[in-house]
Amino acid sequence: MELQVKHVITWMEKANEKIQSNKEYLTSLDQAIGDGDHGLNMARGFQEVVNKVTESDYTNVSDILKDVSMTLLSKVGGASGPLYGTAFLKMSTAVKGTESVDFPRFRTAVEEAVNGVKQRGKANQGEKTMLDVWEPVAELLQNQEDLEAEELASTARKAMEATKDIEAKKGRAAYLKERSIGHLDPGSVSSYYIFSALAEVLDE
């Protein structure tokens, strides 16, 4: 794997397409166990990300990931904005100093992103948050020599689906206690879109 600026641009475009076409779906998931704005938050944020990264020039992956982070932080809002902002900021920092990103560095970047999200949200895996997708993905990378697009997508999908059966301990859904069981976590679904978009980029 060699992640270059052009790949990150395509990654964000594909993630945005998935989010835009599933905006109503994300909203309905958040209506069930939250306040019903996740689709809107993510659609607004990722459209701004695409606008930003396609109208700017970048010489390295770190700079573009930093712009992704800052845009998500300022445009998404809610709980998910600062958390996604943190994830991309940690990735940006982890890949500083190289033009493109090889697999070991990407693995470290995702690990740092997970640590950052955990710290910022004071959450752990199994609490029905986006971490339930991010952490299994980070674990998958730890056990690989190179990135396998199909495995990345299927790991993220299974992890997302598994949030349905557990009780929320963090975020708005935690107020519902056991009534949160039986519903997918909206942030895990949007995280799945982000990783499946990356898998598509790596497959090309």
Residue 45 touches which of Mg ion, ligand ADP, none (CB < 5 to 8 A by kind)? Answer: none
- CB 36 → ligand ADP: shortest distance, Å? 8
Residue 129 touches which of ligand ADP, Mg ion, none (CB < 5 to 8 A by kind)? Answer: ligand ADP
Convert residues 67-106 into a mask of x (bound to Mg ion by CB under 5 A) and - (unbound): -----------x----------------------------
Distance between CA atoms of residues 143 and 39, nearest Å: 33
Give the nearest residue (CB) to ligand ADP: 187
Residue 83 touches which of Mg ion, ligand ADP, none (CB < 5 to 8 A by kind)? Answer: ligand ADP
- What are the CA-CA distances from residue 110 to residues 24, 40, 88 (Å)? 28, 25, 9
Contact predicate 158/132, CB 8 Å: no
Contact predicate 80/130, CB 8 Å: yes
- What are the CA-CA distances from residue 82 to residues 39, 54, 125, 202 (Å)? 16, 22, 18, 27
Those residues with Cβ within 8 angstroms of residue 167's Cβ, 6 or more apart along the chain or in another chain? 128, 177, 178, 180, 181
Footprint of ligand ADP on this chain (CB under 6 A)? 30, 34-35, 37-38, 41, 78-80, 83, 117, 121-123, 129-131, 170-172, 185-188
Residue 111 touches which of ligand ADP, Mg ion, none (CB < 5 to 8 A by kind)? Answer: none
**CB-neighbour burial class of residue 154 (10 A; exposed 0-12, middle 13-18, buried 19+):** middle
Among 26, 29, 33, 37, binds Mg ion (CB under 5 A): 37
Q: Which residues bind Mg ion (CB under 5 A)?
A: 30, 34-35, 37-38, 78
